[in-house]
Structure 1
Amino acid sequence: MKNHNVFIALLHYPAMAKDGKIIITSFTTMDLHDIARPARAYEINTFYIVQPVDAQRYIIQKQIDYWLSEEGRKTNPTRHEVVSMVKLLYTYDEVIEDIQKNRGTKPVVVGTDARPYPKTVSYQFLREEIEKRERDFLIVFGTGYGIPPDLMATFDYILEPIYGAGDWNHLSVRNAAAIILDRLLSRNRC
């Protein structure tokens, strides 16, 4: 994989509710395929799904198991390929531990949000850092109304928000992940 030093994580916990309370969000079945496909297209290392609720994990794991089975491979070989990049974990801390265990060092953690934060960096800056291939990067995507500010404050960087033609920028996490991976890792740059 060209971008072996890039990992992504989709957090279902911790997440924020509209009122700012910390919640656990539900898994959306489209997230598995619609984030795994650009993850594969841009040749990242691993796509982590963080979900602590066992009933939700059961649904996610059933999908993963099906697409990794022989029947799933025969039904859709490309789906098998993209789902093989997915790891289901209970916590964000487990993601960091897994990367450290497999790569030998803690990754640079990059948060994403529709709002700017003090440690906000540009796509160009992060792209240049990734292209050096000197460090591993974990790009974290939130669900619900985003990643809680307390966790965002622990990240090394926050990627600048995605701005469209106007001032509305509340995209689905699937859209945001694809756009961000394209801006950071595409060979078709403006």
Structure 2
Amino acid sequence: MTKSNDRSKSKWMRINLTISQIINFAIEIVKTAAIMLIIAFAIKNFLIQTFVIEGVSMEPNFHDNEYLLVDKISYRFSAPKRGDVIVFNPTDSPDSYIKRIIGLPGETVKIVNNKIYVDGYKLDEPYLPDAINTNTSSQSLESKIYVLQDNEYFVIGDNRQNSKDSRVIGAVNFSQFEGRVFVIFYPFNHLRLI
């Protein structure tokens, strides 16, 4: 063989090797992207989801356009507790709601003179500032009694005068829960654990 044939053959081997490397690199990128998509899908559908607040029903603790992280797994291992802030999907709306759990399955919730009683005891609400107006609604729902069945929860907005909650839509079944709010992550100056 001549030197020019050797150089030509060597050049083609380098080009073939380079094309092979590019193809292998592209295959690795596609595999990595597919794995990342599968992981992201699993996280969003089974572990954590984001939620954006629209409205003022949870003020003063949560504000319009805040971004939250919702834990979708903890209620598979432990029961919801009074005071938990949840995201749920009401039967009468395509939108999800954010509210606070006030009443648990088997309890009786009664609203009298703008005060909430659970099984006859006035509800202590340390998450509400003392100065907040806790009028339960601009609607006529005074002295109403709600008896919760198995898997039913009474949920209410912290901003009682501007909240469409169990006083209007009724008890929320556990099957409607999307998860428990555990972090406000945006805007960054509002960042906190719940």
Same fold (TM over 0.5): no
The interval holding the TM-score normalised by the smaller chain is under 0.3
Bigger radius of gyration among the two: 2
Q: Choose between structure 1 and 2: higher helix proportion.
A: 1
Q: Choose between structure 1 and 2: higher strand proportion.
A: 2
User: What is the TM-score normalised by the length of structure 2?
Assistant: 0.20
User: What is the TM-score normalised by the length of structure 1?
Assistant: 0.20
Higher relative contact order (CA 8 A, sep 6+): 1
